[in-house]
Structure formats: structure tokens, C-alpha cells
Amino acid sequence: MKGRFMKKIVTGLLASSLLVGMAGCSGDPGGSSASGKVELKIGTWAGAQELKEFQGIVDQLNQQSKNYHLTIQSIPADYYKKIQTMAAAKQAPDLFWLSQEYIPMYAELGVIAPLDEYIKGNSKLNLDDYFEGPLQVGKVNGKLYGLPWINQPVMLYYNKTLFEKTGVELPKPDWTWEDFEKAAIALTKDVNQDGKTDQFGTVIDGWPPVALWVWTHGGEIIDKDGKVRMDEPQAIEGIKMFHKLINQDKVTPNKTQAQNTGGPEMFKTGKVAMFFGGAGDDFEKQVGNAFEVGMTKVPHATTEATFSWIAATVMSNTTKNKPVAAEALIDLTNAIRKWKILPPTKSGLGHVADIRPEKAYAVEIMTESSKVSRGFNNQSKQNELDTAIWQELYEPILLGKKSPEQAAKDAANALRKILGQ
């Protein structure tokens, strides 16, 4: 899973620089080689061992295809800044990876091409096989701009050994937030009797996103039509529970404690009983025999939902042979799904136990979570919106400086200002 979502650094150039560049220089992507195959570049943030594995996939596709030859363009550092610089000069790779929050901006600026006409009728692609949440993040104004290759729903990991030792009921897939709260309180203790809490029920330190609480209470931050709804009653109810766990129940270490040690590390060392992590996180391997790891769906109130980190492969608008580039995009996406977990397709989940045997115990529960996994209703200014949520809501609540109602109001006003509402 990526780092703390709400504290990620906003990277890349201003949208205006892309607009200026799009009218300027021209490149020569999508040319043909001496063999007659269309030469295509695939941009990726993969590096080191991941890059070697990805190269193996690309080599196999190149051997199989009569129409294209793929070359990897690895950009392991400053990925978005470099991609945007290349796009401004019309030198973007023919195909490249985008995390979900960047797709609307790139689509609206004309950097990437809609795929619909090029993938229609392709026998290698079944859009009905995709889970709804991952597929939706690739769509902008009704057109499909990216095929997702990974779906990382947030799951609830728990220290099964600690639960059993303490006599607390194990988490269940149908847990409500009240069930979670009750267990978290019971597992928050001063173990060594020195007057300081040293074992916590959970950790909330900038991760997971507040959307977990908002969505599962039936609310929205920004709806599908782009309307800000963060200060509506359902959303506020979710924020109240978020606030209560942190500031009233105190079942999580404070911000300084958590960020000094790191939430994942606190879970691995038994100092945190429940951790919100990505389905593909390798806690099972890292914990080893220290304790037994369990996994289940995140709690809910009125609605089952979970946030998912989703990435897609997109096609540059400047690639010359779009039909062949789309063919390569489909082949590449299908191949990656047998490499990375969790795949965004229903059929792809059948490969999870083969790819990561230690995850075999949780395939069923990950499948159920994938059905309700989703990304944000991303906007072209998504990074600005995320920053505003952090500054006006998440951090103030972490520090106990705002009530849920005030934080929701301030954040909603900030979002409306960014969106011009």
C-alpha cells in the first residue's frame, strides 16, 4: 500500500504548464520497427526487483505479439513530475501508469485518449468481469480512459493471538463501528502498569482516509456529479465516530507516537491490535510466528464500503497507432493482473493464492471487500482537494482542535472554493 494517504506530497507541474506544452513541440511515439511491429513505450514507476519482474512480463508479450514491441521506460523517482513534463512536450510514453486521482486531470487536458472505440469488441477484454469500483475510476464524463490493473481495498487486519489472549471476541465481517469501538476499548491497555498506555486497539494517524467513516455511514465527500456533500448529516455522523475513537475513546496512539514509530510497525510488534491495511500488504510474512494474523472487512454503519488504492494503464493521446496501442494496453493489463494483487476482476481473484500463498486464507473475505471497494469520485483538482481535507478536517481532529461539525463545515467550504461551487 502507498504511504499515508492524507499526507502524501502533491507532485507534478501546474495544469497550465501542460496546456501550454500541448500546443508546442511534437514527438514521434508509436513508430514502426524494421520487423514491421509498432514500437511502443510503457511508462512505469517500477524499479529494482519490481522492474525485473515487469520486464519478464513485457518480454513474454513481445514474443507473443505480431503487432507491437514494448519498451519499458522506468521512472522510479518523481514519476508524475517527469510524466507531466514529457506530456507537455508531447513526448509522453505511448502507455503509462496512473494512480486513480490523476486520471480526470489528464483526461480533461487531453493528455490521454479515451479507449472506448479501440477496445470495443476485443475478445481479450470483458468489462463485465471488473468490479464496479475499480472500473469507475477510469471513467471521465462517461468515457473510459484507463484499465485498472490493481485494486487494493482497505481491510481490517487483526492480531488474532492478542484477541484470544485478552478474551475479546474476534472481528467479524458484519461488524459495526460500535462493535469495533467496543473491542478497541477493551484492547487499549497499560500492560506494564507504569501509568501510560502501551497497547492500543487501533491506529489512526493520517491513515486510513476519513472516507471509510463517511461512506460507511451513507455519506459522501464529493458525489458523482462533483457536488460537495461533506457537511451533510450522514457524512457528519461518520466524522463523529472518527473523532470519538481518537479523542474520546483514545484507542489510538497520538499523532506523534504513531508517526514516530509507524502504524504498520506498531501492529507488527503487537502494540496495536487492529490495523487498516491494504489487502496485498505482507503482514503475514513480516509477522512470521510472532502471532497469528487475521483479516476481515472494515466495519460499517448503514452502508458497506471500503476505500481502495487503484492504478490503471492509460494511452497517450499522441501515440500514432491507437488501435495497436490499445491492443498492447489490454494484453499488458491482463498480464499484470496475474502478477499484482489484488486484481480488479472477479475471475482474477482465482490467481491470488498462486501469487501469494500466505493470502489463501483470506481470498473469500477479500473477494467480498472487492465488491464494495471504491475510489473517490475523483476531480481534476483531486490533489488540492485531498490537501484541503487534511488541513481542514483530518489533522485538526487528530490534534483535538476542532469538533466534527466544525471540521466538516470548514472542509466542505474549502472544497467548494477549489471547485468553484
Note down the domain range covering 353: 5-152+308-374
Of residues 143, 138, 135, 94, the one with CA closest to residue 116? 143
Are both 52 and 146 inside the same structural domain? Answer: yes
Are both 234 and 95 inside the same structural domain? Answer: no
Which helix (H) or strand (E) segment holds residue 310: the answer is strand 306-315
Are both 124 and 190 inside the same structural domain? Answer: no
Are both 398 and 313 inside the same structural domain? Answer: no
CATH of the domain at 318: 3.40.190.10
On the question of pLDDT at 10 being above 50, the answer is: no
Are both 167 and 195 inside the same structural domain? Answer: yes
pLDDT digits (tens, 9 = 90+) for 393-407: 999 999 999 999 999
- Count of domains in the chain? 2
On the question of pLDDT at 266 being above 90, the answer is: yes
| pLDDT > 70 fraction of the chain, expressed in percent and rounded | 92
Give the end-to-end CA distance of the chain in Å, rounded to a whole number.
33
Rounded to an integer, the average pLDDT of 217-238 is: 98
Are both 29 and 108 inside the same structural domain? Answer: yes
Are both 205 and 114 inside the same structural domain? Answer: no
Give me the chain's average pLDDT, please.
92
pLDDT digits (tens, 9 = 90+) for 135-153: 999 999 999 999 999 999 9
pLDDT digits (tens, 9 = 90+) for 353-411: 999 999 999 999 999 999 999 999 999 999 999 999 999 999 999 999 999 999 999 99
Alpha carbon dihedral 106, 220, 201, 284, in 10-degree steps, equals -40
Are both 241 and 384 inside the same structural domain? Answer: yes
Are both 180 and 294 inside the same structural domain? Answer: yes
Are both 23 and 40 inside the same structural domain? Answer: yes
Are both 62 and 132 inside the same structural domain? Answer: yes
| Overall pTM surpassing 0.85 (yes/no) | yes
Q: What are phi and psi of 117, to 5 degrees?
A: -70, -25
What letter represents residue 304's amino acid? E
Are both 126 and 254 inside the same structural domain? Answer: no
Q: Would you place residue 255 in the very low, low, confident or very high pLDDT band (cuts 50, 70, 90)?
A: confident
